[in-house]
Amino acid sequence: MPETHLHVELISHTPLPEQVCALGAKLCYAKADVNALRERVSSQDQSAFLERIMQSGHMSVLEHASFTFAVEGVSRALLAQLTRHRIASFSVQSQRYVSLAENFNYIMPPAIKALGEEAAARYDAQMRQMQAWYAQWQQELGAKGESSNEDARFVLPNACETRLIVTMNTRELLHFFELRCCSRAQWEIRALATEMLRLCRKTAPVLFADAGPGCLRGACPEGTKSCGKATQIRRKFAQL
């Protein structure tokens, strides 16, 4: 029952995402047909045009490009936060159909690990106890012909590891990064969002050039709840 760690992969995305978004924007303003526009977009650098479009607030064209991530080593606590972003598609490992009796992994919060070896050992013992309770209920329910995984999972903790695939379009990703890369976001989803942003920037640098917490583009949107570290945060995301 090992502690697990975050792993994120960008497994798929719209081919030529920046060209697709640029094509959508040009179509709105041009008399030319789609084939002529496609040729024009593919033969010229669209970076400056996309930057102008995004600065003007014409964000709907960004919805034409989507990105799909495989995520492992995250907790069910993170899942509860992530699925609040409703303009997204999720496929999550089922605790109803997948037994965790022999394969129960967990996430340890850094704050608990920082307390030292004794605290980490105590946390691990608590995880093992919950795994034992789960296995016990699974056995008792199975003996009565009940759906053992379905009800035994009620004793599992939020720390329980899960894995998932998530797809978002560019516009929703920008919103997601603004909220979840913020230093006031919970540590685990902040780490996930930051890694997703790093992968997106490698694939579509123009679309995600200014992506990240709101303080990258002006005053902190958290107001009086600001962390007060805008300079350090801007430096961090500039180097991402």
201 flagged as catalytic: no
Write down the catalytic residue from 76, 122, 180, 235: 180
Name the burial class of residue 65, with classes exposed (0-12), middle (13-18) and buried (19+) by CB atoms within 10 angstroms of its CB: buried
Report phi then psi at 66, rounded to 5: -120, 155
Distance CA 176, CA 219 (A): 18
One-letter identity of residue 159: A
Backbone φ and ψ of 105, nearest 5°: -105, 160
Query: Which residues are catalytically annotated?
Result: 180
